[in-house]
Amino acid sequence: MKDTVKKSKYQTFIGLEVHIHLITESKVFCGCKNVFGSEPNTNVCPVCMGYPGVLPSLNEEAVRKAYQVAMALNCHLNEKAVFERKNYFYPDMPKNYQISQFEFPFGIDGSFDLELMDGSTRKIRIHDVHLEEDAGKMIHEGSRSKLDYNRAGTPLLEIVTEPDLASGEEAEAFVQQFRQMVRYLGVTDGNMEEGSLRCDANVSINEHGKGLGTKTECKNLNSSRFVKKALEYEIKRHTKVLSSGDEIIQETRLWDEGSSRTSSMRTKESSNDYRYFPEPDLPPYWPEEKFLDEIKNSLVELPGAKKERIINQYGINQQLVVFLTSEKAMAEFFEEVVKLGKGDKGITTTVASWLGGNVQKILNDNGLEIESSPLSPKRLLSILNMIETDKISSGIGKKVLGLVFEKNSDPEEIVKELGLDEGPNDDEIVKIVSDIVDTNPKVADAVRAGEDKQIGFLMGQVMKATSGKANPGKTQKLIREKILKQG
């Protein structure tokens, strides 16, 4: 027997370190605003600037969100969480140590159900979930370096996976699905361009059954696509090095999107010894059972569970469900329309396909999110109802949808105002149909000869002449009558 698929000699192990920027009122250890995009050095105070004598004061809102993520990732919650100082010098880090967690983070030993391309799921083990503070930003302009400390002290949550991902594609899927989950939780906006979600990837390869190989770490992965590309580049590089009998050097490598390759940033020998030790300014955090219960009870339905429920409850097809549940707001919008429409099976499919088609297109064209758009569940339902009752055609419905976005007013008003429901009267339609059949004798002949499809052309002409207001059923009937009469 011949082996048709040549299996790679090597097995790949990928682990990710994902940082998410938590949405909180204030920074994690002081009262400064936690916002993106302010004038440089305006959201700063003695605490986040590291002045002499200041002390960190822990923000409970950040702690709450850290626990939400740890719970959503099925982590074991440490009985006591300890903050530690991670020591290294960098100009954008005010204290030259970062308050982080090391030995006792909020959550450890969790898992994430990764949906694979074939529809199956695999558990990706989560090593830990820990809370830390972000650094500021250094911007180089020619020979000058500028420092902006607005970001210094904003809350970052780091999620570390075990090396359970087997390809660049899987790593990309993990980042996408993880992003979807934390957006559902509402703990971050997950914007990778603004750095609200950042990712480093560790990769090693080894012969099957031999366990982990020597790893390299990739940094500067600013989109899930870069994660995939950088890892695929690294896997190829590792394979080439090992195949030629050489060894991989443990090092940190930087992804360069321009040249689509990684290059060495620093080797292990030159890496920092962070000299972690417990932060003496913050006592160990002992979460009360009541506090944790309250967080647990307020956890939202996560994407996987929501998807399954929507399929079972509404009988929506897989493809549409993936779209509907991509964002929590979209799924909620869908369910709200269905609820308002009393939830009959017929309308659920229509609502879903409108959201996945016409609505999504307008949102994309206008760069809007469903929750902040002029379209409300009530407005969408009212358009669909007008179509359902033949008050307007679905073509007009689409036009009305566009006008809702344009005018931000109710569909009924738009229809009334523009007279969209006042289609041509029967006499007018009879005349239009008659004219169109007369000016297209060849098409009429073809229909009579049994080429029924050709009737569509005539329909199109009538619709064009009536700006889509003619009732399609009635029009088709009239066209047939006219053609037959002539025959």
Residue (1 or 55) nearer to other proteins, CB: 55
Which has the closest alpha carbon to 303: 482, 173, 108? Answer: 173
Residue 167's nearest CA partner among 11, 18, 9 is 11
Residue number with CB closer to other proteins (135 or 470): 135
Look up residue 254 and give its two tokens: 């930087």
> What's the sign of the alpha-carbon dihedral 231, 233, 237, 240?
positive
Length of the chain: 487
| Residue 418 token pair | 């523009």
- Binder among 11, 74, 87, 326 for other proteins (CB under 8 A): 87
Report 136-175 residues binding other proteins (CB under 8 A).
138, 145, 147, 149
CB nearer to other proteins: give 38 or 243: 38
Between CA 86 and CA 63 the distance in angstroms is 19
**To which H or E segment does residue 380 belong?**
helix 377-388
Within 317-356, the residues that bind other proteins by CB under 8 A are none
Smaller CB distance to other proteins: residue 95 or 229?
95
85 binds other proteins (CB under 8 A): yes
Stretch that binds other proteins, among 84-92, 363-371, 421-429, 470-478 (CB under 8 A): 84-92
Could you say whether residue 487 binds other proteins (CB under 8 A)?
no
The CB-side HSE value for 408 (13 A sphere, CA atoms) comes to: 3
Q: Out of 211, 236, 277, 299, point to the residue binding other proteins (CB under 8 A).
A: 277
Closest CB 384 distance from other proteins, rounded Å: 54
Rounded CA-CA distance 174/425 in Å is 58
Place of tokens 């088609």: 357
Nearest distance in Å: CB 23, other proteins: 23
x/- letters, 171..210, toward other proteins (CB under 8 A): ----------------------------------------
If the CB atoms of residues 53 and 419 are measured against other proteins, the closer one turns out to be: 53
Are the C-beta atoms of residues 15 and 162 closer than 8 Å to each other?
Answer: yes
Instruction: Pick from 115, 281, 388, 421 the residue near other proteins by CB under 8 A.
Output: 281
- CA-CA distance, 63 to 295, in Å (whole number)? 11
Q: Considering the complex, what minimum distance in angstroms separates the CB of residue 280 from other proteins?
A: 4
For residue 197, which amino acid is it? L
Min separation Cβ 30 and other proteins, Å: 9
Q: Tell me how far, at minimum, the Cβ of 45 lies from other proteins, in Å.
A: 8
CB of 329 to other proteins, least distance (A): 36
Within 244-367, residue ranges assigned H as helices are 289-297, 303-314, 318-324, 328-340, 345-354, 360-366
**CB-nearer residue toward other proteins: 96 or 313:** 96
Instruction: Classify 339 as helix, strand or coil.
Output: helix
Q: Residues 373, 378, 381, 383: is their CA dihedral positive or negative?
A: negative
Out of 76, 91, 207, 467, the residue judged to bind other proteins by CB under 8 A: 91
The one among 275, 416, 448, 477 contacting other proteins by CB under 8 A: 275
Task: Indicate the residue among 30 and 320 with the shorter CB distance to other proteins.
Answer: 30
Answer yes or no: are the C-beta atoms of 47 and 76 closer than 8 Å: no
Give min distance, CB of 21 to other proteins, in A.
23
Of the residues 142, 245, 258, 280, which one makes contact with other proteins according to CB under 8 A? 280
Measured between alpha carbons, how far is 198 from 223 in angstroms, rounded to an integer? 8
Question: Between 375 and 404, how does the x/- string for binding to other proteins read (CB under 8 A)?
Answer: ------------------------------
Q: Segment near other proteins (CB under 8 A), from 3-11, 19-27, 95-103, 443-451? A: 95-103
Q: Of 406, 398, 326, 316, give the one whose Cα is nearest residue 352.
A: 316
- Interacting span for other proteins (CB under 8 A) from 86-94, 100-108, 121-129, 229-237: 86-94
Q: Which 100-139 positions form the footprint of other proteins (CB under 8 A)?
A: 138
**Pairwise CA distance, residues 393 & 423, whole Å:** 10
Does 97 interact with other proteins (rule: CB under 8 A)?
yes
Distances (CA, A) of 482 to 103, 313, 451, 466: 84, 47, 16, 18
| Per rule CB under 8 A, count of chain residues that contact other proteins | 31
| Dihedral angle of Cα 192, 160, 186, 339, to the nearest 10 degrees | 110
Maximum C-alpha span of the chain: 99
The least distance separating other proteins from the CB of residue 90, rounded to whole angstroms, comes to 8
DSSP letter at 45?
Answer: -
Q: Half-sphere exposure (CA, 13 Å, Cβ side) for 271?
A: 14
List binders of other proteins among 19-78 (CB under 8 A). 46, 49-58
Closest CB 7 distance from other proteins, rounded Å:
40
Q: Is 96 in the site for other proteins (CB under 8 A)?
A: yes
Could you give the CA distance from residue 306 to residue 303 in angstroms, rounded to a whole number?
A: 5
Instruction: Using CB under 8 A, list all residues that contact other proteins.
Output: 46, 49-58, 85, 87, 89, 91, 94-97, 138, 145, 147, 149, 273-275, 277, 280-283
